[in-house]
Amino acid sequence: MQSTLEIDQLSARFALGRQVTFVEGPGGLPMIELAHDQARATVSLYGGQVLKFQPAGAEPVLWMSEKSHFEEGRAIRGGIPLCWPWFGPSLLDDTLPNHGFVRNRMWDVRATRIVDGEAAQVRLGLSDDAESLRMWPHPFDLELVITVDTALTVELIVRNTGHFAFVCGGALHTYLIVGNVGDVQVHGLEGLSYIDQLRPDTLNRQEGPIVFRGEVDNIYLDTTGPCVLEDPNLHRRIVVEKTGSRSTVVWNPWVAKARRMADFGDEEYLEMVCIETANAGRDLVSVTPRGQHRLKTTLRVMPL
């Protein structure tokens, strides 16, 4: 945890008027508030995780569980967790944390700035250390660039600082608020092949838009285009754009799985859908020495 003094030090170095400020969040975790005339966002330095995004005069966009843990060593349930250097369980060691280790680390603030005279932006960083090398034996440097204007843009830049190429997966694991999951549809993945992680031995084809009538945990393959979450109850469309990704993950845990998760309310599955910009399934990325990979998502909200 960071003390008030450390938050004051971050403010002295990196705050930019009302557009970039530093505050103490739940559990004493340091948070960054990014403000634009048309939207606001909150970012946790623990996990490098965007927790809130809300356009001016509109409903919040990112879902957070009321049972989320805000303590080091435990992942925060909601917002946009960072999955890296693998998505799901490690293929090499199933005792390692699901979705990698960077969402359980404290990130450094590297820079803040105002882009094009109005957009608030922060750059966070994380590099390998003895603990990361024990879990994944590759030197790396990560930079996370978060920009708020009328949209929210999150970009994870992966750099290989070692002497040998490495292969990695990952995701920007975006949780979106919905009025009622049974009423929403996800467009943009029609006709694509997908892996149903509940029955992973069979390749499936998406017929029509995605609707939710039970647990959904699908990795859509060979897709680079945007998705649109259409929500009649909140009278909006959320457009999820992406680059650096050829897979999209769509997830809702439904009744039984929600009840099994300690940091997820029994009825909260009704309020959320994950649409994840990913390098998942067979969409793994090879990064050469001194090379880099950029994984980016942009969320835009439009009236229905």
Active-site residues, by number, are 173, 276
Q: What is the C-alpha separation between 195 and 250, in angstroms, rounded?
A: 11
Structure tokens at 183: 């009423």
Q: What is the C-alpha separation between 53 and 48, in angstroms, rounded?
A: 14
Angle 231-235-238 (CA atoms, 0-180°, nearest 5)?
Answer: 55
Q: What is the DSSP letter of 180?
A: -
Q: What is the DSSP letter of 75?
A: -
CA distances from 159 to 57, 125, 132 (A): 38, 11, 15
130: part of which helix (H) or strand (E)?
helix 130-135
Asked if 174 and 62 count as a contact pair (C-beta separation under 8 A), the reply is yes
Give the torsion sign (CA, 249, 250, 255, 258): positive
Q: What is the C-alpha separation between 211 and 231, in angstroms, rounded?
A: 11
Q: Which amino acid type is present at position 72?
A: E
